[in-house]
């Protein structure tokens, strides 16, 4: 039996005013209660991190940033350093989300730098990987995911493996309503777990699935042996659907 605690993380992306963020965080804290069976994580936009931190204070819900820069400080207008994210109360930082790769030019080298910077600040990276539709159709899914995992984790200190979370998010499933089947997800999660065992010497690392997870499909996805939780976009924007996913997670 695996002892990995399942994680449900809500990625709010570029949504929510301060008032909306406070209300959503409050509703989630109330709905989650004393839940410890599932680790619940919220990733608001930077502007709402402090407000969300205040709402979740004293609860089991954890705070996460959606991205970071890798430098500690300096003349980098518009950027946010990992130390600032620790200061505002984050525990986790999403790194390498496909929208960052697609719209902001984050390549594997940038992802790798960010992973190391997150560790250096005492935080935990949630590193995202996943193939595009074209790559899947060309039979390149495993090769693409393998490259992203190995490059993203280059030089990752084996002793820090407990702080690492991987999110497998097929790009064609993100925000499209097209979820990977449990079998498709499990196959890639298993590959990733084997890669982690080979490179870090342990398979005991949480691997989340992301891409159109809803309260309706969460239970069958989470039943797969190598799925340790979900990174949720659209369905994390309303307390009812996010709490529904948590409730469906065993
Ligand atoms: P989605 O987004 O749940 O809206 O598909 C997932 C993600 O981008 O993390």
What is the average per-residue pLDDT within 220-246?
98
Q: Give the position, in ligand 1's atom list, of the atom nearest the Cα of 231.
A: 9
Compute the distance between CA of residue 250 and CA of residue 247 in angstroms, rounded to an integer: 8
Residue 72 pLDDT > 80, yes or no? Answer: yes
- Percent of the chain past pLDDT 70, that is, above it, reads 99
Q: How far is CA 206 from CA 49, 149, 197, 203, in A?
A: 24, 14, 12, 9
CA of 176 to the centre of ligand 1 (A): 9
- The candidate with the shortest Cα–Cα distance to 227, out of 244, 207, 213, 248, is 207
Compute the distance between CA of residue 242 and CA of residue 71 in angstroms, rounded to an integer: 33
pLDDT of res. 3: 79
pTM score, whole prediction: 0.97
* Ligand 1 atom 2, closest CA: 233
Q: Give the position, in ligand 1's atom list, of the atom nearest the Cα of 98.
A: 8
Which residue intervals of 159-238 are DSSP H helices?
A: 182-200, 218-222
pLDDT of res. 5: 96
Contacts of 160 (CB under 8 A, 6+ apart): 119
Q: Give the position, in ligand 1's atom list, of the atom nearest the Cα of 128.
A: 9
pLDDT of res. 231: 98
Contacts of 30 (CB under 8 A, 6+ apart): none
Residue 33, number of CB atoms within 10 A of its CB: 9
Question: Exactly one of 97, 99, 131, 135 is catalytic; which is it?
Answer: 97
Residue 1 pLDDT > 70, yes or no? Answer: no
Query: Which tens digit of pLDDT belongs to each residue from 214-225?
Result: 999 999 999 999
Residue 35 pLDDT > 90, yes or no? Answer: no
How confident is residue 70, by pLDDT bands cut at 50, 70 and 90? very high
Residue 169 bears catalytic tag: yes
Query: Which tens digit of pLDDT belongs to each residue from 139-180?
Result: 999 999 999 999 999 999 999 999 999 999 999 999 999 999
Average confidence score pLDDT of the chain: 96
* Both tokens assigned to 136: 């899947």
CA of 220 to the centre of ligand 1 (A): 17
Q: 125 in helix, strand or coil?
A: strand
Out of 41, 175, 185, 242, give the residue to mutate to test ligand 1, the one with the largest number of ligand atoms within 8 Å of its CB: 175
- The candidate with the shortest Cα–Cα distance to 114, out of 136, 96, 91, 139, is 96
CA of 159 to the centre of ligand 1 (A): 30
- DSSP summary character for residue 65: E
How confident is residue 34, by pLDDT bands cut at 50, 70 and 90? confident
Question: Exactly one of 39, 99, 135, 169 is catalytic; which is it?
Answer: 169
* Ligand 1 atom 3, closest CA: 233
pLDDT of res. 241: 98
Q: How far is CA 153 from CA 75, 96, 150, in A?
A: 27, 11, 5
Q: Which residues line ligand 1 (CB under 6 A)?
A: 11, 169, 174-175, 210-213, 231-235
Q: Give the position, in ligand 1's atom list, of the atom nearest the Cα of 11.
A: 9
Residue 103 bears catalytic tag: no
* Least confidently predicted of 16-25, 31-40, 85-94, 162-171: 31-40
Compute the distance between CA of residue 230 and CA of residue 38 in angstroms, rounded to an integer: 11
pLDDT of res. 2: 52
Residue 186, number of CB atoms within 10 A of its CB: 18
Compute the distance between CA of residue 237 and CA of residue 191 in angstroms, rounded to an integer: 31
CA of 212 to the centre of ligand 1 (A): 6
Beta-strand ranges (E) seen in 52-115 are 62-65, 92-95
């Amino acid at each position: 039996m695996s002892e990995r605690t399942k994680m449900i993380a809500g990625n709010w992306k570029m949504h929510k005013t301060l008032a909306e963020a406070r209300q959503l965080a409050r509703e989630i804290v109330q709905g989650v209660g004393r839940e410890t069976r599932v680790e619940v994580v919220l990733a608001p936009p930077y502007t709402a991190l402090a407000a969300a931190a205040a709402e979740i204070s004293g609860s089991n819900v954890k705070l996460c940033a959606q991205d970071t820069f890798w430098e500690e400080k300096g003349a980098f207008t518009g950027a946010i350093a990992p130390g600032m994210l620790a200061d505002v109360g984050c525990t986790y930082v999403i790194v390498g989300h496909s929208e960052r790769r697609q719209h902001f030019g984050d390549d594997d080298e940038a992802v790798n730098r960010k992973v190391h910077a997150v560790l250096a600040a005492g935080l935990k990276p949630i590193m995202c990987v996943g193939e595009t539709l074209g790559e899947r159709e060309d039979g390149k899914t495993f090769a693409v995911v393998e490259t992203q995992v190995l490059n993203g984790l280059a030089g990752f200190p084996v002793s820090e493996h407990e702080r690492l979370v991987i999110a497998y998010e097929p790009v064609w499933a993100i925000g499209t309503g097209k979820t990977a089947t449990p079998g498709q997800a499990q196959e890639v999660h298993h590959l990733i777990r084997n890669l982690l065992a080979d490179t870090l010497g342990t398979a005991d690392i949480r691997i989340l699935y992301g891409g159109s997870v809803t309260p309706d499909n969460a239970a069958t996805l989470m039943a797969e042996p190598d799925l340790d939780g979900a990174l949720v976009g659209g369905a994390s924007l309303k307390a009812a659907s996010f709490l529904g996913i948590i409730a469906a997670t065993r």
